[in-house]
Amino acid sequence: MAVCGIAVMLVGISVRWAAVHALGVYFSGKVSVLEGQHVVKSGLYQYVRHPAYAGSLLAYLGMGLAFANWISSVFIFFPVLLAALYRIRVEERVLREIFGDEYDDYSRSTKRLVPRIY
């Protein structure tokens, strides 16, 4: 279980890194839109709208699994999941305000975190 957890954690870190790299200069820890920014639809963003959060969630899930203890998994993963879901709502509200129809079209063609599921 611990080895699988570490593998999931490394995949999550890689997914997050790829998502941040795809955003380039537009990546920020704050919810903001820079002048000249556009809706990124390339790389992992062609499959999900929030791959950086998906990667983080995978990494935290992997960390919980690496401890090989279900209680640790619950206490590590679920608070991060709740925070990510809240942050996604905030970000999507801002992106819809700024990009309007372009973001609406993009959101209809992609899922939030898991391709073809959610």
Tokens of 77: 């993963």
Position 30 confidence tier, pLDDT thresholds 50, 70, 90? confident
CB 118 within 8 A of CB 112: yes
In 3D, which of 32, 40, 31, 47 has the Cα closest to residue 84? 31
**pLDDT tens figures, 78-96:** 999 999 999 999 999 999 9
CB 110 within 8 A of CB 49: yes
Residue 48 bridge partners (DSSP): 111
Tell me the domain boundaries of the chain: 2-23+39-109
Tokens of 78: 């679920």
Residue 29: per-residue pLDDT: 85
Q: pTM score > 0.75 for this model? A: yes
